[in-house]
């Protein structure tokens, strides 16, 4: 399942080219939830900038790269074209920030299971990883997500926004 050049590491760690992926996880979804999100740390061990340009998962009809931004006093989620991973740096995908959005879930995200997720980087290439479905661990506060009423895996606020309201044009989806 790993791409050529991909190195198996410790559990929850993957590497392809100069990109090391640590601790990929997703929160369990309640029954009927239409959306979820995957989080992880992307470390660029090389001397050339790279970027995550695509993701896909069989569990979701659509998979997009997203970020959060403040628009006045309202937190908005916005689709982005890429997650930049600077040379020698780290991109952290976390609740309330950058994340891989899983839209129109085909099945629930069940705690204790894992889901395959394909990641494509501009330079390092493509790798399929296993994303653990679990609650946030110590140090992975989900307070930001809950404070914004974001709706990842909560069955509200997200499923009726995609494909509408100019998503992807910088307008974003509004979450109250």
From the CB of residue 25, how many other CB atoms can be counted at a distance below 10 Å?
Answer: 20
Residue segments in the chain with a per-residue pLDDT below the cut of 70: 1-9, 138-176
Distance of CA 85 to the CA centre of its chain: 14
Is pTM beyond 0.85 here?
Answer: no
- Check residue 168 and give its pLDDT: 38
What is the per-residue pLDDT across 118-135, written as a single tens digit (0 to 9) for each?
999 999 999 999 999 999
- Check residue 5 and give its pLDDT: 53
Instruction: Report whether CATH 3.40.640.10 matches the domain 6-156.
Output: no
């Amino acid at each position: 399942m790993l791409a050529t050049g991909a190195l198996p590491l410790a559990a929850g760690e993957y590497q392809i080219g100069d990109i090391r992926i640590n601790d990929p996880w997703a929160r369990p979804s309640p029954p009927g939830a239409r959306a979820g999100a995957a989080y992880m740390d992307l470390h660029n061990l090389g001397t050339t900038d790279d970027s995550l340009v695509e993701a896909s998962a069989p569990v979701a009809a659509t998979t997009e790269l997203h970020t959060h931004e403040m628009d006045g006093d309202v937190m908005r989620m916005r689709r982005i074209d890429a997650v930049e991973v600077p040379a020698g740096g780290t991109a952290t995908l976390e609740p309330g920030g950058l994340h891989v959005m899983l839209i129109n879930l085909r099945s629930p995200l069940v705690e204790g299971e894992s889901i395959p997720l394909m990641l494509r980087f501009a330079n390092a290439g493509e790798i399929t990883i296993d994303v653990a479905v679990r609650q946030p661990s110590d140090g992975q506060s989900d307070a930001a997500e809950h404070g914004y009423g974001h709706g990842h895996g909560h069955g509200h606020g997200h499923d009726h926004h995609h494909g509408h309201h100019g998503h992807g044009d910088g307008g974003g989806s509004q979450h109250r």
